[in-house]
Structure 1
Amino acid sequence: MLVFQLMFVSLFLLQTTSSGSGRHSLWMLASSMSGSTVFPEFNMVLMLDDIQVGYYDSTMDQVMRVGGGGEKGAELDLGQHGMSLLQEMIFNMRERLNWSKQNFNLTGVVVHQRLVGCEVLDGQPVFIMFRDANNRQEVESFMYNMTHFTVAGSDSWKIWWDVWKRTYAQTLYTNFYVPVCVRFLQNLLDREKNLVMRRVRPRVRVLTKQVVGGARVTCLATDFYPRHINLTLLRDGRPVDEDELTGGSVLPNGNGLYQVRKTLTVDDEELRRKHSYTCAASHLSLDNRMEVSWRAEFSRSHRVPVVSVPVSVLKRYRALHENKEETGASPSQATRKPELDEALVSMIVKDTQPFSIVDDVGFRAFVSKLDPNYVLPTRQVCMGACMKQMSTLLCLTVQHYICFP
């Protein structure tokens, strides 16, 4: 699984700013597996830049289209050459899977994974590549940048590239694989140009949170597209050194948009100086840099976290008290607690809240006002419930990816 995660990281690092005449990429991420598993023998998703546009339906033996909102559509026409390449990949991956089982005496669930794709710049091919992994171990990687090959193979798999094989591969890729990949990429760009060229403005906020001996100041930008953004945290107008910050990785929000946050930990002494902290964001969707500021005040006011509460919780609270006023009775606490626990876990997952929120003084006081009889679950209980819910949501949301328990 680690190697497959690295493949996703490679995909996002290689994908650059989307524009009609800029740099674009097309990727297939595939898995072939054997053993007792709920997943089909072969899975594949098709990505245009960082957007899923298709998936392989093993029951219909077809590549199906995925719309801009993630909805499923009709069959995605790969063309004769595209389908030939897909069938070739399925056969080759199955062969490598069986070879690894026989030669390494592998039992149980065995997975062979592949990342393959190409990239263009202003309509001209830049490179084509693939990476293979088997049961968490990288097997082989290959890149051709139109002039040179870069190859690497695992010694245990006995994969060697001699002069004859390199010459054959260069001829095959130059005259067949590259033209097919580029042509299909361009067709997808024409169809999905409104999606890949869209610009969504970020929402920028400065968040503060109490910690022992001080506070955390977080610069957050969320719900933006494309994924490339310049986020800076300033202290009294001067950029904070990156060595003092944590975070900074751009992460998907699950709705086709992205988020990034950078956090600075400040002690009480620094808070006494009442610095001004500014979160500044530069993005393709913005004409000018967006800035949001917060000034430290050494009092307990800065220590009260702002908590997002789902509307469902407030509605449930209102219905409860309206019922209580009318009947003079309240539902059993034993009946309500699982329901409230579920709502709490849902809030943590949907709003990307930290598990430690259940220990925050302000949040506990707020919940106590809602229901004095409700006992918040511990951080460990929340973590276990959240992991279960996130795994379920992940597999439901990207059910055509490979989801591991």
Structure 2
Amino acid sequence: MFFLQLMLGSLLLPPMMSSGFRHSLSMWLTHISGPTQFPEFSAVLMLDDIQVGYYDTNIDQILKVGGGGEKGAELDLGQLTLDVLQEIVMEMRMRLDMVRKQLNLTSPGVYVQQRMGACGVQEDGQPYFIMVRDGANGHDADSIHFNTTHFLYSGGDGWDFQFDTKREVYEQMRFKTFLTLCGLTLRNLLKSEKHLVMRRVRPRLRLLSQPGGGGAQITCLATDFYPRHINLTLLRDGEPVDEEEMTVGSVLPNGNGLYQLRKTLVVDEEELQRKHKYTCAASHLSLDNRLDVSWRAESFHSFRVYAISAPVVLVVVVVLLGVIMCV
């Protein structure tokens, strides 16, 4: 559950672009204590929302996952990055013991500690922030946020550990070093994976309508676009429909490295009789102009021609066969 929360939380990183934030590098780390078939320690490396690397203590090297080059080959991020990873392995071992004591997790068995670390750079490529968040066995432990001017520590449920002044100064110096290293690694990856993170894939836009509940369900759907930021609007006679009237989904992965988003409006028979014109419109970085597709509502009965029952299909088939035989 905690790892899922972290993964969902990572989706909050890209929207910071609006305040000068440009790209992020994040690492998702898992340490398992106890007898399992999994590596004791593993890490997934993400550039923005793209997985680019994988590491575990069995292979003891960072492997390339996506992008250019040979998949599964070593991803060369420099010996210093590998040294930091190995240092984090030792730290997380000690950290899990500490967390277990704090959260009173004393019974024998398998225990899992998870950590998400991320850094971001601004438009000019300068490091902007770094953060680390820890959890153990589904419990939120603590987190640290650091940028060039602020150091913020916060504890989770049941976690009452606090830094003294000396420890806080040490951690600030340590995180300043990590911020510099993470920023350097991020810039190097942006160069090698530029074709992925800088790509622009136009959305496929559709306006779907189907009968239901005595009226109709109108869905504005955008699929297969990248990057994930999109402005999708459903208009009624040229005016935006209030989002409180609709069911608005989240931007979801499409399973192919691209994204999808849908907004659905339910209208009744009386609304259909007014024969409004509905337009699904999208603005996206891949588009020079707004993309839109329209549909004009008819009465409820106009939808029924698309819902052909089995007996009707059978009659149509028999008629067609008769025509063919006559010919």
Q: What TM-score do the two structures reach when normalised by structure 2?
A: 0.86
Q: 1:106 to 1:146 in 2, by over 3 A?
A: farther
The equivalent of 2:46 in structure 1 is 47
Distance in structure 2 (CA, Å) of the matches to 1:31 and 1:94: 11
Q: Please state which structure has a larger fraction of its residues in helix.
A: 1
- 3-state DSSP of counterpart to 2:288: coil
Alpha-carbon offset, residue 40 of structure 1: 2.6
Show the counterpart of 2:206. Answer: 205
8 Å CA contact 1:33, 1:97 repeated in 2:
no
CA–CA separation in structure 2 for the residues paired with 1:144 and 1:90: 21
The change in CA–CA distance for 1:282 and 1:116 in structure 2 (over 3 A counts) is same
Query: Closer, same or farther in 2 for the Cα pair 1:172/1:98, shift >3 Å?
Result: closer
Superposed, which structure 2 residues align to 1:105-254 within 5 Å? 105-121=106-122, 122-154=124-156, 156-174=158-176, 176-254=177-255
- Code of the residue aligned with 2:168 in structure 1: it is R
Instruction: Name the structure 2 match of 1:346.
Output: none
Alignment of 1:261-272 (within 5 A): 261-272=262-273
**What CA distance in whole angstroms lies between the structure 2 residues aligned with 1:266 and 1:71?**
51
Does residue 83 of structure 2 align to residue 84 of structure 1?
yes
For residue 5 of structure 1, what is the aligned residue in structure 2?
4
Q: Partners of 2:132 and 2:310 in 1: how far apart?
A: 54
Q: Deviations over 1:191-244 (max 9, x none)?
A: 011111000000000112332222211100010001110000001110000111
Q: Distance in 1 between matches of 2:81 and 2:108?
A: 33
The 3 A distance-change label for structure 1 pair 269 and 14 is same
Separation (CA, whole Å) in 2 of partners of 1:69 and 1:258? 21
Q: Does the 8 Å contact 2:39/2:56 carry over to 1?
A: no
Aligned to 1:289: 290
Correspondence for 2:92 = 93
Distance 1:235 1:267 in 2: 14
Distance of aligned partners of 1:207 and 1:107 in 2 relative to their CA distance in 1, 3 Å threshold: farther
Rounded to whole Å, the distance in 2 between the matches of 1:300 and 1:37 is: 60
Aligned to 1:330: none
Give the match for residue 67 of structure 1.
Answer: 66
Equivalences for 1:334-373 in 2 at 5 Å?
A: 365=310
Contact 1:120 1:126 in 2 (8 A): yes
Amino acid across the alignment from 2:129: F
Q: Is the 8 A contact 1:223 1:253 kept in 2?
A: yes
Q: What is the total number of aligned residue pairs between the two structures? A: 308
Gaps of 5+ in 1: 306-360, 370-405
Query: Displaced runs of 4+ in structure 1, greater than 6 A?
Result: none
CA 130–188 in structure 1, closer or farther in 2 if over 3 Å, else same: same
Give per-residue Cα distances to partners, 1:33-63, cap 9 Å, x unaligned. Answer: 2345453322211001111100114431211
Gapped regions of structure 2 (runs ≥ 5):
315-327
CA RMSD of aligned residues (A): 2.5
CA offsets 1:72-129 (integer angstroms, 9 cap, x no match): 3311123222112111222222223344456422454422111001100121111000
TM-score under structure 1 length normalisation: 0.70
Q: For 2:158, what is the secondary structure of its paired residue?
A: helix
Match in the other structure for 2:324:
none
SS of equivalent residue, structure 2 residue 12: helix
Give me the identity figure in percent: 57
